[in-house]
Amino acid sequence: MKPMYINGEWTAGSGGETIDIYNPATAEIIDTVPDGTAEDAAKAVAAAKAAFKEWRWVTAFERAEMLQEAANKLREHFDEIVELLTLEEGKAISENEEETEWVIGTLEYYAGLARNVRGRVIPPADRSQFNFIIKEPFGVVACIIPFNYPLLLMIWKVAPALAAGNTVIIKPSDHTPLATLRLAEIVFDHFPPGVVNVVTGRGDRMGEALVEHPDVPLIAFTGSTAIGQRISSLAAKRIKKLHLELGGKDPFVIAPDADVETAAEAVAYAALLNAGQVCTSSERIYVPEQMSQAFTGAIVDFVRGLRLGPGLERTTDIGPMAAPAFREKVASHIAEAKAKGAKVLTGGQAPEKLDQGWFYEPTVLTNVNHSMVIMREETFGPTIPIMTYRTFDEAIELANDTVYGLGACIRTNDARLVKRFFEEVKAGTIWINDPLTDNYAGPFGGMKMTGGGRELGEEGLEGFLETKHVHWDFDDTLKDYWYPY
Ligand code: NAD
């Protein structure tokens, strides 16, 4: 069993129960972690609260150095972490290398920004006065993480939260806690006890205990919209500050001028990365009517050439899904679409050869429309549902016809269409010709029911700081606007 990390010590927790962690490529148990209780959550909060008293006064420069040191240590353990991530999450090893590079880069980026945390001076209302704005940390931040990018989505919260002077409690997904626990051991071990804690357990027990704890003023959550709603309702009781990074149903519009073959490969990448288990997966593809036949032919040919397999094999393009329930959801969306008239051109089933793990064939569908679940709800799997449009107005209308607003992709070199797309589509990130590429300095987050949090960039640091206005009068004589009137 891999224990939890609370106050710089390793503990099995108080409940005595454990959670099994599986390799999704083989459906075998690879380890177990404690199924943490509310009592364990309270211990972690007490440790983080006590550590905050000192940590908040550690200078920004020292905090920056510690973040840089974490990045250096992770670089030394790069291969080990990549392998562990691949074992517990399943995606292709090159994607886990990229994830780990991103974790290092994010630590370095916020090490840089940590040195630059600042407020500002504003004009006073009277010449005897001095007014300024300072930024201060919240205190204990609970970071609740989903399964699909266990380290990336963790560090997008933890690096800026620490840079800002908060202490953190990380609760990884109960599918993928192992790489995070290993990081506590080898990458975060130089932080003072209690500054970084990692707890494990089920969302409805450990997660809710953290959300409801009175000494946790800020919850940074990435996960499904349904759980985001649950957390919001619990947090409302104490008007807690929330960072919500929730579900998506991103559109990908192919414009009439796009090259068909390149567009097909771009869509395949955007839809199938991590077996479609990406919050910004392109889950709705819109193609001009006149291009439809050529495009579907090209994408079906391309997708059939992709190799499914265990993530640890270098030849694998697409790994398994992370849990059986996720695969069942994909199958149910496809079944509902087929029942309503959709056509499956390739895929649509679990592969016969890889029957041990939780694989699902990449699936291309046509004849889809917005009455189908597969075009409305998050599928979070390797599906490419393609719908045709007649005019660009219609394409924009279809792209916006969703409750979500995370990302949106387009392929075109027509500047007028580009301008319309980035101005009219309601989404937190617009990708033109290069889908799903992030940038350390570019704020990432959503609109509408994806939640309004932003990670990365200066906005990603700002979210972990509270704003305080200081009004200072150097003239301490009586004021003529005091009583009596
Ligand atoms: P999930 O919502 O099931 O779980 C996320 C985390 O919340 C896990 O750690 C889980 O244990 C915890 N949790 C579950 N119930 C809880 C509760 N009642 N109280 C507190 N915590 C609870 O999500 P998932 O299946 O792990 O991840 C997939 C989802 O995450 C998708 O909807 C995807 O779009 C979303 N996601 C969003 C972004 C983004 O940036 N917007 C990024 C990645 C993933």
Give distance in angstroms: CA of 391 to centre of ligand 1: 36
pLDDT tens digits, 55-73: 999 999 999 999 999 999 9
pLDDT score for 479? 96
**Per-residue tokens: 211:** 């959300």
Mean pLDDT score across all residues of the chain: 98
Q: Is the CB of residue 438 less than 8 Å from the CB of residue 421?
A: no
pLDDT tens digits, 101-147: 999 999 999 999 999 888 999 999 999 999 999 999 999 999 999 99
CA-to-CA separations, 178 to 102, 142, 277, 398, in angstroms, rounded: 18, 18, 19, 40
Model confidence, pTM? 0.98
Q: Where are the alpha helices (DSSP H) in 363-451?
A: 392-400, 415-424
pLDDT tens digits, 420-463: 999 999 999 999 999 999 999 999 999 999 999 999 999 999 99
pLDDT at 355 over 90: no
What length does the chain have? 485
What is the distance between the alpha carbons of residues 35 and 394, in angstroms, rounded to a whole number? 49
pLDDT score for 354? 87
Map residue 140 onto helix, strand or coil: strand
Please count the other Cβ atoms lying within 10 Å of the Cβ belonging to residue 401: 13
The answer, yes or no, to whether the previous bond of 484 is cis (omega within 30 of 0) is yes
pLDDT score for 62? 97
Task: Give the right CATH number for 4-246+451-470 from 3.40.605.10, 3.30.70.120, 3.40.50.720, 3.40.50.1370.
Answer: 3.40.605.10
Write down the domain spans for the chain. 4-246+451-470, 250-432
For ligand 1, which residues put their CB under 6 angstroms from it?
Answer: 144-148, 153, 171, 173-174, 203-204, 207-208, 211, 222-224, 227, 230-231, 245-248, 279, 378, 380, 406, 446, 450
pLDDT tens digits, 293-313: 999 999 999 999 999 999 999
Nearest CA to ligand 1 atom 22: 203
Please count the other Cβ atoms lying within 10 Å of the Cβ belonging to residue 92: 24
Give distance in angstroms: CA of 135 to centre of ligand 1: 29
pLDDT tens digits, 307-341: 999 999 999 999 999 999 999 999 999 999 999 99
What is the distance between the alpha carbons of residues 224 and 246, in angstroms, rounded to a whole number? 5
What is the distance between the alpha carbons of residues 191 and 100, in angstroms, rounded to a whole number? 20
Going by their DSSP bridges, the two strands 404-405 and 454-455 should be labelled as unpaired
Nearest CA to ligand 1 atom 13: 203
> Which amino acid, residue 141?
V
Nearest CA to ligand 1 atom 34: 247
**Per-residue tokens: 350:** 């679990």
CB-based contacts of 136, cutoff 8 Å, min separation 6:
56, 165, 465, 466, 468
Annotation says 279 is catalytic: yes
pLDDT at 372 over 90: yes
Give distance in angstroms: CA of 112 to centre of ligand 1: 29
Angle 399-404-405 from CA coordinates, rounded to 5°: 70
Annotation says 245 is catalytic: yes
Q: Domain spanning 250-432: which superfamily?
A: Aldehyde Dehydrogenase; Chain A, domain 2 (3.40.309.10)
pLDDT tens digits, 248-285: 999 999 999 999 999 999 999 999 999 999 999 999 99
Across residues 194-205, what is the average pLDDT?
A: 98
Angle 149-155-157 from CA coordinates, rounded to 5°: 105
CA-to-CA separations, 36 to 14, 172, 207, 378, 469, in angstroms, rounded: 7, 12, 9, 29, 40
Please count the other Cβ atoms lying within 10 Å of the Cβ belonging to residue 159: 29
Please count the other Cβ atoms lying within 10 Å of the Cβ belonging to residue 43: 21
Nearest CA to ligand 1 atom 28: 223
Across residues 192-219, what is the average pLDDT?
A: 98
367 class by beta-carbon count within 10 Å (0-12 exposed, 13-18 middle, 19+ buried) = middle
